[in-house]
Amino acid sequence: MHESTRDSIARLLAPALGLPESEVTELVELPRERGRGDYALPCFPLARRLRKPPQAIAAELAESLAPAVAADPLVARLEASGPYLNIHLDPATFARRVLARVAQAGERFGESERGAGQRVVIDFSSPNIAKRFHIGHLRSTVIGAALVRIHRALGYEVIGVNHLGDWGTQFGHLISAWELWGEPERLEGEDPIGYLQQLYVRHNKAAKEDPSYADRARAAFRRLEEGDPEARALWSRMREISLAEFDRIYRLLGVEFDEIAGESFYEDKMAHALALCEQRGIARESEGALIIDFAEHGVEGLQPMLLRRSDGATLYATRDLAAGIYRFETYDPAKIIYVIGAPQRLHLQQLFAALGLLGFPAERCHHVAFGHVLGMSTREGTAILLDEVLGRAIELAEQRIREGDVRVPEDRIEETARAVGVGAVVFADLRHRPIKDIAFDWDRLVRFEGETGPYLQYTHARLRAILDRVAEEHGERPGETEADPGRLVTDEERAVLMHLEQYPRAIERAARELEPSVVSAHLLDLAAAFSTFYHKHHVKNAPPELRRARLELVEAVRRVLAHGLGLLGIEALERM
């Protein structure tokens, strides 16, 4: 495997610094200002270790490494600029090396084995059964799925878990409502989940007005916990109906799970969790309930965690604790990532603290908190269904296609509109940091220009069209004809090459920071750099040797866009 440019620079600098190459690689960065070289080594971090001012370190390196630079084909010159060592590359060698790396890795350029031998558990999506899949579930689902793909690309063994909300007192309300008002034929109709949700809302409203309904709900859930056959059969039917509906939406989004282990999966594991808390002395009785009082164990700033009510009922906190214990004991993961909304921050802080008090490595637990989807409620204040959002996006995409924004054959309009509409919704989420609230701008969402998913899909299709036109007119395809990428020395070509070179690090950073938006931003920057290049330079009509070199560049950009879109869960369209 060809080494990265940073690795090559580190190999040159490390002997003079007396540091391991891996450490120097992490110090090498892109310059903060244009015209300051292709890479830079900030010498501030070295000052204390080498006991010299950073300016002196930069100057000494530039002078002492002059002979090595003269013999190095990649580094053209070193230049001390205050506390920075600016590194200027030989354009031809840089181009050859970048495109050789992409060609060697093929469709998997950007991937690595950095996480090999380590497991990562990612808890995401987690809708409640017997409730419709609304727009609020979008963020956890697409952010979590992207993090699964990003970690797999780095060699981690990933267990993607759908922690369904399929247990708890809400099912007491549902069972009681069914027993009072249930109409079996409605479960065979067009919208069984909608009907179940109506029953729940009706019973919950009644319970607020008449305490006897709340008593019925508690009694019904107790029967469910105790294994009452009728209650269990009804609960299983609700779960089955819900999973069938969820699966339809997951297929549309291209999302898969390794485990669908809802709260009910941990029902028989709660006793172990509670026993462990008592054995370790971190839980105690309080007015008949079982709690963890964090202040008593030196954890400040957290309210007590309720594990069991005075009537013996468990809570979702109990099940989450049982799930955390199970995951550590079963998988010994390097990370457990919870993709859950920001309002759950306190709950997860309590969960992580409790796991730490039990002796588990809580520092491996991470909360990817996400904000709200704004402007997505009905007039009645209820959340819009995700189905409706995806359907509208697909309709808008088809409208744009038929209006001539892009040319698509009639027999492929429907499937193209589906890919564009779904991709538009997914990218509109993933181009933002998870913690930010997002708002869908329907006018911009499915545009084929600007910072949108359709723009990236269009760019990929455009790249494929360029390759096909050259093949048709000149009989040349990347990798099949001899080409010298060393001819790619213009500023615009250099910018594209630099973005290609940085792609593997973008994936690593996305995994490290748990931010799929890092990949989204990199793809937009790469597409913009290519667009600038293509507006200034010919490919098909370039002189033969330059044309072949540029073909390799076009194919490298296409591969990276396809790979990056795949990480985000967006289809890279071949024709448009």
335-341 and 119-123 as β-strands: parallel, antiparallel, unpaired? parallel
CA-wise closest residue to 489 among 32, 38, 31: 38
Beta bridge partners of 121: 159, 336
HEC per residue, 115-173: CCCCEEEEECCCCECCCCCECHHHHHHHHHHHHHHHHHHCCCEEEEEECCECCCCHHHH
Find residue 29's DSSP bridge partners.
40
Active-site residue, from 52, 134, 347, 367: 134
Q: How many helices (H) and strands (E) does the chain have?
A: 21, 13
Catalytic annotation present for 137: yes
134 in catalytic set:
yes
Q: How far apart are CA 5 and CA 505, in angstroms?
A: 11
H runs (alpha helix) in 316-452 = 316-331, 345-357, 386-402, 413-430, 442-445
Helix (H), strand (E) at residue 86 = strand 84-89
The alpha carbon dihedral of 15, 20, 22, 24 has a sign of negative
What's 547's DSSP letter?
Answer: H
Look at the alpha carbons of 129, 135, 139, 141 in this order and tell me if their dihedral is positive or negative.
positive
Catalytic residue among 52, 88, 131, 366: 131
Q: Which of 60, 56, 63 is nearest to 77 (CA)?
A: 63
Query: What residues contact residue 464 under an 8 Å CB cut-off, 6+ apart?
Result: 558, 574, 575
**SS3 for 376?**
coil
Q: How far apart are CA 262 and CA 256, in angstroms?
A: 15
Please, which residues have CB within 8 angstroms of residue 276's CB and are 6 or more apart in sequence? 325, 358
Q: Which of 2, 52, 88, 137 is catalytic?
A: 137
Q: List C-alpha distances in Å: 376 to 125, 330, 380.
A: 18, 39, 11
Closest CA to 163 of 259, 249, 271: 259
Residue closest to 138 by CA, chosen among 148, 126, 150: 126
What number of residues does the chain have? 576
CA distance 28 to 40: 6
Ramachandran bin of 359, using left for φ above 0, alpha for ψ from -120 to 50, beta for the remaining angles: left
- Residues with a catalytic annotation lie at 131, 134, 137
